Structure formats: C-alpha cells, structure tokens
C-alpha cells in the first residue's frame, strides 16, 4: 500500500447538479452538516488538493475548524503561476503549503511555501498519477481532492479517485456551473455506476459515498471493493 495513495474526491452540489452560480458563488450551497462532513474529510487526510480556479474564486482557508482535528497539508495545482501570494490558503499556521507547478516553471513563492514540479503531458496537463506520486514522495498518501470541477474531473477521468463523496443539497440553482464534466461517453453502457452508500444528514443534505475504484475495475472486467473506513461519514 506504500506505493498507492488513498484518494477521495468531494463535491457539494445542488439538486440540479450545480456547484456554483454563474457569478462563481458557491458558499454555501451545502448545509451545516455537509460542511462538518467536509471538515471531517480534511481532518482524515494528509493533504487537501484544490485547483487554482477555486483559490481565485473562493480564497478558501482549507483548514479544519468545524470539527476537532489536524489540518492537512494544503496543495494548490497552479501550473501557470496564477496564484496570488496573498491567498489565504498560503497563510503560515504551521501547516505545510505546497504549490504544484509545471516542471520548469519559474517565479517565487512566499517564504515557507514549497514548490513541487510535475512534468506535464503533451497537452500541458499535470497527470494525476504524477501528482499523487510527488505527494507520496513528500510523505502525503491520504489525499482529499476538494475541487473545483475541473480538478476533480481530471482526477476522475484518470481513474485516480478511490472514493467520491457527492453531497446533494435540497436547493435548485437553475443555472450555473455543473459539478462534473467528464470525458464524453459513447452511450449509457459506458456510464460509471459506482456502488454507493447513502446517508441523509439531519438538515436535509444527502451524501452519496461512491466506490470509484470498484467502478473502474468493473470497467476493465474485474471486481474488488475498497475499504475506506478512514473516510466513513462520522
Ligand atoms: N461546491 C463545491 O464542492 C466546490 C468545490 C470547489 C470549488 N467550487 C467552485 O468551482 C469553481 C472553480 O472551479 P474550476 O473548475 O474553475 O477550478 P479548479 O478546478 O479549482 O481549478 C482549475 C484549474 O486548476 C488547474 N488544474 C487543475 N487540475 C489540473 C491538472 N491536472 N493539470 C493542469 N492544471 C490543472 C488549471 O489551471 P490553469 O487554468 O492555470 O492551467 C485549471 O484551469 C468556483 O466557482 C468554486 O466556487 C465548488
């Protein structure tokens, strides 16, 4: 298991599958219980990953403050150096802060923030498998991919997510950013159908805990369940 990461993705979405309004507002689609759950996921992870789009839109802290627990390392995927040094997730609170960049990228980072270079593929993307290998080499094996949609899609398309927690809130936005835009499939037979456990939170949000590893194995004609009690809803 030392050569594998344990990767969980999360998405807080509306009943109509949106994760943000057209203007980019996403706080607070999820209710209080779902937010507590997200903070529990952070506390169970060694590292939380977000894309630069989320940092620019939301300026998140990415720490654990709604539940007891340890802050995970904060990892930002910023291949082109768009990150502002004043971003709140770069603040020094004793937690590791890592910026993932394309190999060869130049530019300074605030003191104490680690730069990690990842070789890009032919399309200039950072392959999720290489990102996870770089994080494992840094001692970070349990990983939460917190978003946004583009980042989560790149990990899902690469079949690099073991467990996907989709938190559905009883709210309809009617317009705005959709949560998951994956590579197009040829037909319904190609749809991913992960085995899922459903938890209804007291304030009405619903958690779908999806076993993506098993779904990926079934795509290839194999079957095997993953045990991820570490990320079980509390
Ligand atoms: N409801 C939720 O659960 C939730 C969670 C998080 C965010 N959000 C919302 O989502 C929106 C932002 O989402 P987004 O999809 O635009 O942004 P994002 O996924 O946070 O960031 C996307 C950017 O990150 C970089 N990136 C991510 N993965 C990469 C990879 N494998 N290789 C290379 N670059 C990679 C690219 O940067 P470059 O463009 O510089 O190449 C990409 O354009 C915001 O409105 C935010 O509020 C919602």
With beta carbons less than 8 A apart as the criterion, state whether 23 and 49 touch: no
E strands, 119-232, are: 142-147, 163-169, 177-178, 195-200, 206-211
Q: What confidence score (pLDDT) does residue 189 get? A: 92
- Quote the pTM value: 0.93
pLDDT-derived band at 232, boundaries 50, 70, 90: low
Q: What confidence score (pLDDT) does residue 27 get? A: 85
Q: Which residues line ligand 1 (CB under 6 A)?
A: 11-12, 19-20, 24, 26, 29, 50-54, 57-58, 77, 79-80, 82, 125-126, 128, 146-151, 154, 177
Q: What confidence score (pLDDT) does residue 1 get? A: 57
CA of 152 to the centre of ligand 1 (A): 8
Superfamily (CATH H level) for 6-223? Dihydrofolate Reductase, subunit A (3.40.430.10)
* Three-state SS sequence of 50-100: EEHHHHHHHCCCCCCCCCCCCCCEEEEECCCCCCCCCCHHHCCCCCCEEEE
Ligand 1 atom closest to the CA of 152, numbered from 1: 19
* Strands, sheet with 47-51, edge to edge from the N-terminal-most edge strand: 114-118, 97-102, 73-77, 47-51, 142-147, 6-14, 163-169, 206-211, 195-200
**pLDDT per position as a tens digit, 102-129:** 988 888 999 999 999 999 999 999 999 9
| pLDDT above 60 (res 194) | yes
* Average pLDDT across the chain, whole number: 92
């Amino acid at each position: 298991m030392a050569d594998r990461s344990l990767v969980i993705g999360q998405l807080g979405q509306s009943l109509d599958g949106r994760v943000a309004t057209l203007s980019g507002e996403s706080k607070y689609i999820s209710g209080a219980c779902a937010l507590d759950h997200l903070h529990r996921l952070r506390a169970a992870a060694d590292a939380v990953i977000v894309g630069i789009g989320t940092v620019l839109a939301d300026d998140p802290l990415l720490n654990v403050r709604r539940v007891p627990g340890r802050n995970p390392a904060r990892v930002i995927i910023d291949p082109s150096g768009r990150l502002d040094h004043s971003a709140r997730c770069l603040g020094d609170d004793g937690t590791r802060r890592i910026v993932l960049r394309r190999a060869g990228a130049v530019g300074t980072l605030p003191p104490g923030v680690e730069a990690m270079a990842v070789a890009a593929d032919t399309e200039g993307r950072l392959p999720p498998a290489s990102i996870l290998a770089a994080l494992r080499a840094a001692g970070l094996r349990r990983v939460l991919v917190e978003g946004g949609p583009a980042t989560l899609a790149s990990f899902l398309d690469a079949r690099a997510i073991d467990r996907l927690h989709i938190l559905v809130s009883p709210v309809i936005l009617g317009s705005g950013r959709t949560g998951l835009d994956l590579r197009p499939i040829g037909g319904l037979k190609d749809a991913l159908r992960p085995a899922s456990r459903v938890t209804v939170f007291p304030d009405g949000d619903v958690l779908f805990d999806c076993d993506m590893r098993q779904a990926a194995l079934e795509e290839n004609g194999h079957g095997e369940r993953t045990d991820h009690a570490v990320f079980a809803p509390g």
